[in-house]
Structure 1
Amino acid sequence: MRFTSLLAAATALLGTASAWTLTDNYQGNTFFDGFTFFTGPDPTHGTVQYVDRATAESQDLIAVGGDGVVIMKADMTNVTPNGRPSVRISSNKTYNSGLFILDVKHMPFGCGTWPAAWMVGPNWPAGGEIDVIEGVNTQGANQMTLHTSEGCTMDTGASSQTGNWITTNCYVNAPGQSSNQGCGVGDPSSNSYGDDFNANEGGVFATKWEPDSGIQIWFFPRGSIPGDISSGNPDPSSWGTPKADFPFTSCSSSYFSDMVYVFDLTFCGDWAGASGVYNSQYGCPSTCSDYVINNPTAFTEAYWAINYLKVYQQ
């Protein structure tokens, strides 16, 4: 057999071996069956009350529309002196690798809000954290971050990404960084978060986590979603440079394990409510807690609308 034929055969075999297979589809009427509702105190000290599923249903904080879009929102009706009722859910299944395709139509936005879609392991920060979508108040672009125990740093020379490094030490108590800042990458695109994101009817966030290489995150705005994602045959090798690239060169894959996928919407807290952020950086009114407690109609945009979360494995 000629060398070119051997090469073609080997390439075909490799392509078959690296194909991604759908293993979990969180979507439509069964979406919430795959998640557990968190009802404890907010670990980030937010002005929030996380409620259980029955309460969320009775207060119309969760719903599935006739088009299959999953809605998760906060109370928009009442003055809430004990914190604004909201939703935080974690997948029942844990993961140690995978390709996570999240299609979001609308994300929470506005002064006081702190939404996130993320993954976290047990005994935080020992099991690690991957923030796929995160921001506060009227932030204009997405921020992607890893949080770990001591010893995980990013080798920027081994990274290829279109986003901008904010910090490179993933340790939650890293010297010279804010508490729990982690290693973060900012997306330069305004349509990746908040008002511009919602005006464009959102898009797709794809997170690839491979223990032998690292973690990469892509964002595709609505109208620019690759056909292989839409057809259910994702091929990350065809997507180009990711928004964020966290290589496992100076950070071991052992920092990330048994992770659940989380959606939440908190208010104020350690980041959104800090005066230097809430007032000075974003120019939001009053104090964060007072604003959140006393202005329910200010949160008509504080909701998630999710088309699906699909998990693929090699």
Structure 2
Amino acid sequence: MRDILPVLLLIEGLFSQGALGAYTLVDNFAGTSFLSGFTFFNEPDPTHGFVRYLSQSDATAQGLVKSTTSQFSMTVDSKNKAPDGRASVRLHSKKTYMKGLFVLDVEAMPTSTCGTWPSFWTWGSEKTWPEEGEIDIIEGVHTNTVNAMSLHTADGCSISGIGSAGTVNTKNCFINAPGQISNAGCGIGSSSPFSFGTGLNAIGGGVYAMEWTSTSIKIWFFPRDSIPVDLKNNIPNPASWGTPQANFEGGGCNYEKAFGRQRLVINTTFCGDWAAAVWTSNPTCKALAASCNDYVANNPTAFRNSTWTINYLKTFQQPYTNI
């Protein structure tokens, strides 16, 4: 007993400090190795966008994906008219994930341009949606500079939104929730005017972190000059990060039931189910063309800054979680 007492005391100390629950780095996609973790989706857009997603070989040949030792970038065709949809890139992670901490360091993203709909998000698959859920971490359309964060689920998931720094816009995550616009889900708008598009680029970008546990989903945004030191050192402690931009908990959502294994997605689409639907309600965009598709097809140079510049995408897991 005397021999194992130090070991027992060590284990007790680790539990009391929460060390056994600490996040451990699992994936670090960055620079020239970024694409090792992803596949190119080149099928018709599930969101019905006016877009042609290219294969890796075609995207590379057209110069839409590039990498250096420290950064990866992906952009859209900004040289040619596109009567059949604008060429773009959509990446899906090769791995699927079940809970964890997901961190994207983005130096720049597509500017707030009429017709665009860039996103960083997760989902199970088109075949299982929405039964396995969807988590939108970075998303917006047209001239938005404020990030829209949301969850999309089957029936039976709602949130209170209490504990969010952002503005709670909708609370029912069900895609066909009564009293909400179709597929609105439960949505929270960022409190920062520099959280998306042109606004984000103006401050040199920053870091988005999404924590998914069995009881909640939370999203933080850190501008470039306020990234937590623990996150920089790959020992993240979300409990020390303060109020998240979006706190998706409370209200009666069974996260174990509402969300299945998720794939990470980064893409830029155009028009589609969201951006086309609100084209005429945006005065700036409405003045440019009769429809979203018309504008995107005929104005290639408008999208010369529709580029993602990514420093890294990291995933962290806690012990005993199913990765």
Both proteins in one fold, TM over 0.5: yes
User: Structure 1: how far apart are the matches of 2:283 and 2:35?
Assistant: 33
Equivalent residue number for residue 39 of structure 1: 42
Equivalent residue number for residue 310 of structure 1: 314
- AA matched with 1:102: L
Cα distance 1:55–1:248, how it changes in 2: closer, same or farther (>3 A)?
Answer: farther
User: Structure 1: how far apart are the matches of 2:275 and 2:314?
Assistant: 29
Confirm whether residue 128 of structure 1 aligns to residue 129 of structure 2. no
User: Structure 2: how far apart are the matches of 1:93 and 1:13?
Assistant: 33
Within-5 A mapping of 1:106-255: 106-109=108-111, 110-122=113-125, 123-156=128-161, 159-211=162-214, 213-247=215-249, 250-253=252-255, 254-255=257-258
1:255-314 Cα deviation digits (max 9, x unpaired): 11110000010001111112xx22322521102111111111110111111111100001
The count of aligned residue pairs is 302
The alpha-carbon deviation at position 121 of structure 1 amounts to 1.4
Give the TM-score normalised by structure 2: 0.90
Equivalent residue number for residue 284 of structure 2: 283
- AA matched with 1:219: F
- AA matched with 1:88: R
Equivalent residue number for residue 3 of structure 1: none
Confirm whether residue 296 of structure 1 aligns to residue 300 of structure 2. yes
Give the TM-score normalised by structure 1: 0.93
Confirm whether residue 102 of structure 1 aligns to residue 89 of structure 2. no
Cα distance 1:251–1:30, how it changes in 2: closer, same or farther (>3 A)?
Answer: same
CA contact (8 A) 1:137 1:282 kept: no
User: Structure 2: how far apart are the matches of 1:230 and 1:44?
Assistant: 35
Name which of structure 1's ranges 282-291 and 220-229 shifts more when overlaid on structure 2: 282-291
CA contact (8 A) 2:110 2:198 kept: no
CA contact (8 A) 2:106 2:205 kept: yes
* Aligned match for 2:78, one of 70, 76, 79: 76
User: Structure 1: how far apart are the matches of 2:26 and 2:252?
Assistant: 30
CA contact (8 A) 1:132 1:145 kept: yes
Long gaps (5+) in structure 1? 1-5
- AA matched with 2:219: I
% of aligned pairs identical? 49
1:54-109 Cα deviation digits (max 9, x unpaired): 1010000101035x211111001111111000001110101111011110011112
User: Structure 2: how far apart are the matches of 1:232 and 1:151?
Assistant: 36
User: Structure 2: how far apart are the matches of 1:241 and 1:137?
Assistant: 28
User: Structure 1: how far apart are the matches of 2:28 and 2:16?
Assistant: 27
Long gaps (5+) in structure 2? 1-8, 319-323
1:147-187 Cα deviation digits (max 9, x unpaired): 0011111134xx31101111000001111111111000000
The alpha-carbon deviation at position 10 of structure 1 amounts to 4.5
- AA matched with 1:311: T
Q: Deviation above 6 Å: which 4+ runs of structure 1?
A: none
The alpha-carbon deviation at position 138 of structure 1 amounts to 0.7
1:103-147 Cα deviation digits (max 9, x unpaired): 001111211000000010130001100000000001020010000
Equivalent residue number for residue 6 of structure 2: none
In angstroms, what is the RMSD of aligned CA positions? 1.6
